[in-house]
Amino acid sequence: MTNSSANDSGQQLLMPASTAEVVELLRAAVGSGSRLSTNRVTAAGTNSAPDSVRRVDLQKMNEVVDYPARDMTVTVQAGMAVSELTKILAEENQQLPIDEFDPLLSVGALVAGDIAGPRQYGYGTLRDYVIGIEAVDGQGRIFHAGGRVVKNVAGYDLCRLMVGSRGSLGILTQLTFKLKPLPEQTTLRSFRFDDAADFESALTKLNVSAANPVLLDFNFASSPPAQQPTDDSDCVQKDIPYALHIGVEGAPEACSWQIEQLRNDCAGGEEVTSDGSLDLSVDHHCRNAGYGWQDNEVRIRTFPSKLVAVATELGARGYSTQGHAGNGILFVQDRTGDTDVRTVCRDIVSRHGGTVSEWTVDHPAKNPDPLSAKLRSTFDPRSIFTA
Amino acid sequence: MPGGASGALAGFSDLTANTESPLFRLAESHMSSAETVTTNCVITAEFLKELAAVVGPARLLSSKDELLVYECDGYVVEKSVPDVVVFPENAAEVVAIVTACGKHRIPFVPRGAGTSLAGGCLPVGGGVMIAMTKMRQIVDINLRDRYAVVEPGVVNVNLTRALAGTGFHYAPDPSSQGACTLGGNVATNSGGPHTLKYGVTVNHVLGVEFVSPQGELIQIGGPCGRGNGFDLPGLFVGSEGTFGVVTKIWVRITRNPAAYRTMLAIFDSVDDTTQAISNIIGAGIVPAALEMMDKGIVAALEQAFHFGFPLDAEAVLLIEVDGLEVAVDAEAETITRLCKDSGAREVRLSQTEKERALLWKCRKQAFGAIGRLSPSYCTQDGVVPRTKVPEILRFIAEVSKRHDIRIVNVFHAGDGNLHPILLFDERNAEQVKRVMLASDEILGKCIDLGGSVTGEHGIGVEKISFMNRLFTDEDLTVMEDVRKAFNPDGRCSPGKLLPTAGACGMEHIEKQHPGRKAAM
C-alpha cells in the first residue's frame, strides 16, 4: 500500500516504495481519471501543478540495485538523491559527470529534466550516460530498455527518449548509468574581456586549443541601456565586460600545462585572480552555476560561433546572459521587468540560428511537434501525467 | 557457395531439427522455405511506371538478374530478392518513391552499402529497395561549430578523409568504415574500436532528416542538436530502418587528440589477457581503444600483413591512449605496468605513425583475413559486463571444445563487446548444425551474465528470436507501440528488430515463409 501525505502547499504526496506500488498508483489513476505529477526538478511547493494533481514522490525508492564498480556502471532506484549517488561513487573514485546544483534532487528528476551543468562541454549530457531504464507508462505498463552493459543496441533506444521527457511519458523507477573515473585534479581559470571582439577571438582559439577544457562557461553582465536601440547597429556596447570560466582536469602537470595554453588562448583578456576571498574552483563553479533550471529563465541554444553576437544583442536590450559558451547555450533572465524576454530571444535567434526553448525544467512544450505528440499519446493516452 | 561471411550461418537445408534454441528455430524457418524467398507483392506496370517517372529508367532495376545482387547483405543466411531497386538522388525523389509505395501498399526497405551483419537491409517479403548510395554528398563541414551535414550514402571513412588536415575527425569508426555508409551507421547505431572513449553513433548524431513511411519529409534535431521536444534523434538512431528513410544527417565532429600512444601487449595465456582487460578498466582507466585478438586471428593477420605478430602468443591486446602530449606517456606507463602485473610477457610501444597505422589496418581488416582460416565463418556480437570477459572467454573455449568447432576471437575488449568467429565449412551440414548450437549457447551465456546479444551489429532479422529473452512481453509491446507511432502499417523495413505482430498487407510473407511469422 502506497503511503500518502500532504506537502507544504497542501498538495497530496504519494510515496510508493516499489515499482509494483507505482503500477498500482497508475492503475488507480487510470480508474479514477486523476492526474499525477512525477520526477520533478522543482520543489513541491514551487511547481505550478494544480492541487487536484497528485504528486508522486519516489524518495522511498532510494536503493542501489547493483554497483559493479569494476564494470564502471551503477543501477539505482530513481528516488535516490543525486548527492547520495555522488557520495557512493566517490568512494570508488568514480563519478556520474553531471553537475549537481541541488543536493536533494532525485536521480529520476535529474534524468527526466535532462539536467546538464558546466562540464557538459567535456563530458556530454545524460543521453551519453543512461544505459538502462525501468519505467511505468500512463497505462501502468512496466517497461525496460537498454540494459547494464555499456554497449548495447538491442531494441529501440527508449533510454534516450526518456531523458528530458519531463515525466510526461512515464514514471522512471530505475536507472543504469555508465560512469567515469574521477580526475586526479581539476583547475579553473577565469578571464575578463572588455571587448566583444577579444572575447570572440578567445573562444575561436579555444575551439582548437592545445588544451582540452571540460568546462567553458561565460557570463555577460549587462546594464540596462539608457534607451532602447533603434536598430541593430546600436546593439553593441563595447564597455560591457565578458567573463570566461575555463576548467581543465587531469594529473597536476597536465593541468599546469593546460593553464599555460589557456593563457595564450585568452591573451586578449585579463586573468581574474583571487586573494583567497573568491573560490575559483571547478567544484565551486559547477555547484553554483545552477542557472538554467528556474522557470523564469529562457534557454537559448545557438551556434557557438554566434554566442557573442547573441549575448551582445541581448545585452544591448538590457538582458544579462550566462551559460555554456562552448556549447552555444545561453540563459537569459528578464531584468527589464515588463518586457517579454522570450519574444526578444526569438527575434534575435531567428537572425543567428538556433532555438529558444519552449520547455521549462518540469514542463514539456505546450505545442509539441506531431511526432512528439504522437509519442505522448502512445505512452500516456489518458493524459495521466501533467504537463 | 563456400567462403561466405555472415552474422549467422548458411546451408540450413540439410539439417535435422532437434533443439529449441532460438537460432535453431530461426534455422528451421529457413529450412521450411529452403530457397530464396520470393515475394507476393503485386508490382503493377502502373507502379513501375510511377517509380520510373521519379528516378528514370537508368536508376531503376527490375530484372531478375540485376535484382539478385540485392538478395542479402553481410548476413548471407537469409535471402529475399526485392521486386524493384531504385536509386534516388535527392530527398524529393525519396518522398515520391515512398508516396508511391504507400499508394500501392508496397513494402520498402532502405539500403546503404549492404554491410549489415544481421540482415538489417534484407527486403523481407520483397517490395521496393531504396538504395541510398547515390546520395553521397558531404553537404557542409563547419569546424568552428563542430558539425558536418552529410547525405546518407556517404561512406564513413570519406567523412574522416574530408576532414583530414583540419584537426577534426568523425569519431565512430566501425571496422567496415571503408565501405559502410553513414545512413547505415545511423540505422544500426554503429560502433567501432574507438567508441570505448568516444561513444557510438548516437553520441555523435545531432539531427536527422528522414522520409516517414507516410511520405512526409521530417527533420528532427539539427546543427544545434535537439530542439523543443523529446530526444527524437536519440530514439531514431538504432531503429534499423523501421522509422523511415534517412535523407540527411547532422553529425558532430571531434577534435583530434594531440598525441597517441599505441601498444601491443603480448600474453602467453588467454586468462592473463582477460585479467589485464579487467584490471585496466577496474583501475578507472578508459583508453581510446582496447582490443583483443587471440592466437588464431593473429596467425591469420600475420599471414596477411606480415606485421611481426608473435605467433607463439596465446593472445595480444591492442591498446591506444590519446590526449595531451604531456599526459599520454604516464597513462601508457600505467597500462604497461598493469599488463605486466597481469602476466604480459612483453608490451611493445608503437614507434612510428606508420607502425601505428599498420597495426590498426591489421585490426580493422581482421575479418577479411579469416578466409585464410576457413571457407565459411559466423561472427557473433554479444556483450557482457567488462569484468565478465574472462568468464565468457573461458565459456567460449569450452563451447568450442564441446562442439568441436574452432572459434577465434577479435573484439572490443574494453566494452565487453565480443566477436567470437566460428569457423566451418557450410557444405558440411553437420558442422553447420554444431555451429548454430554453439552460437546459441554463447549468446545465451551473454544474457545469463547480464549482457546483450548485440553491441553494434543490430538485431536485424538474425537475432529477433533472442528479443523475448532480453525483454519482457510488456517491454516488447511498448516498443511495438513506438514503432507504430512512426510506422503504423509496418511497410517500412518489415520483419526487423521486433518479434511482435507486424505489417498489414504482409500476409504473403507468412504464406511463403512460415517461420518469418514470428519475426513480424
pLDDT in tens, A281-309: 888 888 777 666 666 788 999 999 999 99
Chain B residues lying within 8 Å of A210, measured CB to CB: 258, 324
The CA distance from A126 to A146, in Å, is 14
According to DSSP, the β-strands at B376-379 and B420-424 are: antiparallel
Report the residue of chain A nearest B381, measured CA to CA.
A152
How many other C-beta atoms can be found within 10 angstroms of the C-beta atom of residue B26? 27
Chain B residues lying within 8 Å of A357, measured CB to CB: 228
Confidence at B161, pLDDT banded by 50, 70, 90: very high
Q: Which of B416, B458, B481 sits opposite A378 (nearest CB)?
A: B481
Tell the residue number behind the cell numbers 565463418, with chain if given.
B377
Confidence at A42, pLDDT banded by 50, 70, 90: low
Residue B178 has pLDDT above 90, yes or no: yes
What integer pLDDT is reported at residue A294 of this predicted model?
Answer: 67
List of residues 6+ apart from B479 with CB closer than 8 A: A145, A155, A156, A158, B471, B498, B500
Kindly list the structural domains of chain A, giving each domain's residue range(s) and its CATH number in brackets, ordered by start: 3-56 (no CATH), 64-182 (3.30.465.10), 185-356 (3.40.462.40)
Q: Is A260 on the interface with B (CB under 8 A)?
A: no
- CATH topology identical between B1-35+374-454 and B40-256: no
The CA distance from B189 to B408, in Å, is 25
Higher pLDDT, A22 or B509: A22
Give A342-381 pLDDT, tens digit per residue.
889 999 999 999 999 877 666 666 778 899 999 999 999 9
User: Which set of grid coordinates corresponds to residue B137?
Assistant: 554528398
Residue A323 has pLDDT above 70, yes or no: yes
Q: Is A261 on the interface with B (CB under 8 A)?
A: no
DSSP B464: G
The CA distance from A381 to A169, in Å, is 10
What integer pLDDT is reported at residue B76 of this predicted model?
Answer: 77
Q: Is B352 on the interface with A (CB under 8 A)?
A: no
Residue B443 has pLDDT above 90, yes or no: yes
Confidence at A19, pLDDT banded by 50, 70, 90: very high
Residue A43 has pLDDT above 90, yes or no: no
Higher pLDDT, A225 or B32: A225
Residue B13 has pLDDT above 60, yes or no: no
- Contact by Cβ (8 Å): B339, B347: yes
The CA distance from B163 to B385, in Å, is 34
Q: How far apart are the first and last CA of chain B?
A: 29
What integer pLDDT is reported at residue B217 of this predicted model?
Answer: 98
The CA distance from A289 to A120, in Å, is 12
Asked if B387 and A253 come within 8 Å (Cβ–Cβ), the reply is no
Asked if B235 and A301 come within 8 Å (Cβ–Cβ), the reply is no
Q: Tell me what the pLDDT averaged over chain A comes to.
A: 86
Report the residue of chain A nearest B323, measured CA to CA.
A212
Asked if B454 and A152 come within 8 Å (Cβ–Cβ), the reply is yes
Average pLDDT of B230-246? 97
Q: Is A303 on the interface with B (CB under 8 A)?
A: yes
CA distance A6 to chain B (A): 31
- Contact by Cβ (8 Å): B204, B482: no
- Contact by Cβ (8 Å): A345, A298: yes
Asked if B229 and A371 come within 8 Å (Cβ–Cβ), the reply is yes
Confidence at A317, pLDDT banded by 50, 70, 90: confident
Q: Which of A148, A153, A161 sits opposite B456 (nearest CB)?
A: A153
Give B341-364 pLDDT, tens digit per residue.
999 999 999 989 898 998 898 888
Q: What is the DSSP string of A253-295?
A: HHHHHHHHHHHHHTTTSEE---SSSS---HHHHHHH--TT-ST
How many other C-beta atoms can be found within 10 angstroms of the C-beta atom of residue B417? 29
Average pLDDT of B130-151? 98
All structural domains of chain B with their residue ranges: 1-35+374-454, 40-256, 258-372
How many other C-beta atoms can be found within 10 angstroms of the C-beta atom of residue B154? 26
Report the residue of chain B nearest A360, measured CA to CA.
B228
What integer pLDDT is reported at residue B427 of this predicted model?
Answer: 85
Average pLDDT of A69-92? 95
What integer pLDDT is reported at residue B34 of this predicted model?
Answer: 28
**CA B216 to centroid of chain Cα atoms:** 28
Q: Which of A150, A163, A374 sits opposite B415 (nearest CB)?
A: A150
Higher pLDDT, B372 or B84: B84
Residue A188 has pLDDT above 60, yes or no: yes
According to DSSP, the β-strands at B254-255 and A64-66 are: unpaired
Confidence at A223, pLDDT banded by 50, 70, 90: low
Average pLDDT of B453-470? 94
Higher pLDDT, A230 or A117: A117
Q: Which of A114, A155, A372 sits opposite B232 (nearest CB)?
A: A372
Helices (H) and strands (E) in chain A, counts: 11, 19
What integer pLDDT is reported at residue A386 of this predicted model?
Answer: 75
Q: How far apart are the first and last CA of chain A?
A: 26
Q: Which of B218, B387, B466 sits opposite A71 (nearest CB)?
A: B387
Percentage of chain A beyond pLDDT 70 is: 84
What integer pLDDT is reported at residue A227 of this predicted model?
Answer: 43
Interface of B with A in 419-478 (CB under 8 A): 450-459, 463, 466-467, 470-472, 474-478
Closest CA to B168 of B189, B148, B192, B195: B148
What integer pLDDT is reported at residue A295 of this predicted model?
Answer: 64
Tell the residue number behind the cell numbers 528532427, with chain if given.
B220
Chain A residues lying within 8 Å of B455, measured CB to CB: 149, 151-153
Residue B29 has pLDDT above 60, yes or no: no
Higher pLDDT, A360 or B379: B379
Q: What is the DSSP string of A205-246?
A: HHHT-SS--SEEEEEE-----SS--SSGGG---TTS-EEEEE
Determine the CATH number of domain B40-256: 3.30.465.10
Q: Is B286 on the interface with A (CB under 8 A)?
A: yes
Least confident of A317-326, B15-24, B78-87: B15-24
According to DSSP, the β-strands at B128-131 and B108-111 are: parallel
Average pLDDT of B98-105? 96
- Contact by Cβ (8 Å): A190, A263: no
ipTM of the complex: 0.92
Confidence at B511, pLDDT banded by 50, 70, 90: very low
Any idea which fold B258-372 has? Alpha-Beta Plaits (3.30.70)
Confidence at A339, pLDDT banded by 50, 70, 90: low
The CA distance from A328 to A316, in Å, is 19
Report the residue of chain B nearest A89, measured CA to CA.
B284
What integer pLDDT is reported at residue A262 of this predicted model?
Answer: 96
Confidence at B35, pLDDT banded by 50, 70, 90: very low
Pairs of CB atoms within 8 A across A/B: 228
**Backbone φ and ψ of A222, nearest 5°:** -100, 150
- Contact by Cβ (8 Å): B419, B410: yes
What integer pLDDT is reported at residue B510 of this predicted model?
Answer: 38
Instruction: Write out B236-271 in H/E/C secondary structure.
Output: HCCCCCCCCEEEEEEEECEECCCEEEEEEEEECCHH
What integer pLDDT is reported at residue B79 of this predicted model?
Answer: 87
Any idea which fold B1-35+374-454 has? Alpha-Beta Plaits (3.30.70)
CA distance A26 to chain B (A): 15
